[in-house]
């Protein structure tokens, strides 16, 4: 029985396996039987054991930590977006007031121009 190291060349992660020999009578050769133990910590070189379960984690397993961090991130993001919405609402109100004032100024100028045109047309008659 020995421990075998496999290095993933793309990621650099080292996987550790327990290897034992098993004799195959059909081929009359010895074959290795390996059991996955976990990964190797890159800093200390110690074994980080696997959970022993295969496949993806189900909804209930390991999701508590993720939900906790995601919840705080979403709360911060929500507060930030609420603040941005309040600022945009205030800007919209300010621009609507300016727009209303400018429309009133334009209408006043039109009225003055219309009065001047009416006064000029009365002089011609």
User: Model confidence over 33-78: pLDDT tens digits?
Assistant: 999 889 998 888 888 888 777 777 776 655 555 556 677 888 889 9
* H or E element in which residue 37 lies: strand 29-40
Residue 84 confidence (pLDDT): 95
Q: Kindly report the average pLDDT of the chain as a whole number.
A: 86
Q: For residue 3, is it within any domain?
A: yes
The closest alpha carbon to 22, from 12, 11, 13, 31, belongs to 31
Q: For residue 72, is it within any domain?
A: no
Structural domains of the chain, count: 1
Percent of the chain whose predicted confidence (pLDDT) is above 90: 53
Q: For residue 112, is it within any domain?
A: no
Q: For residue 92, is it within any domain?
A: no
pLDDT class of 28 with cuts at 50, 70, 90: very high
Q: For residue 69, is it within any domain?
A: no
pLDDT tops 90 at residue 100? yes
The closest alpha carbon to 6, from 18, 23, 21, 20, belongs to 18
Q: Are 6 and 17 in contact (CB under 8 A)?
A: yes
Residue 21 confidence (pLDDT): 92
Given strand 47-49, what is the order of strands in its sheet?
A: 2-7, 14-24, 29-40, 47-49
* DSSP letter assigned to residue 13: P
Instruction: Determine the structural domain holding residue 18 and report its residue range.
Output: 1-51
Q: For residue 17, is it within any domain?
A: yes
Q: For residue 47, is it within any domain?
A: yes
Q: For residue 121, is it within any domain?
A: no
| Lowest-pLDDT range of 39-43, 82-86, 98-102, 103-107 | 39-43
């Amino acid at each position: 029985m020995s421990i075998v190291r496999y290095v993933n060349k793309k990621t650099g992660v080292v996987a550790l396996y327990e290897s034992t020999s098993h004799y195959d009578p059909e081929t009359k050769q010895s074959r290795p039987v390996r059991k996955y133990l976990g990964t190797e910590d890159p800093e200390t070189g110690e074994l980080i054991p696997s959970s022993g379960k295969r496949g993806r984690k189900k909804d209930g397993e390991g999701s508590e930590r993720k939900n906790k961090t995601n919840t705080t991130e979403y709360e911060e993001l929500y507060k930030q977006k609420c603040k941005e919405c309040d600022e945009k609402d205030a800007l919209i109100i300010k621009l609507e007031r300016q727009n209303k004032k400018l429309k009133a100024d334009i209408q006043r100028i039109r009225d003055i121009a219309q009065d001047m045109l009416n006064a000029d047309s009365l002089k011609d008659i």
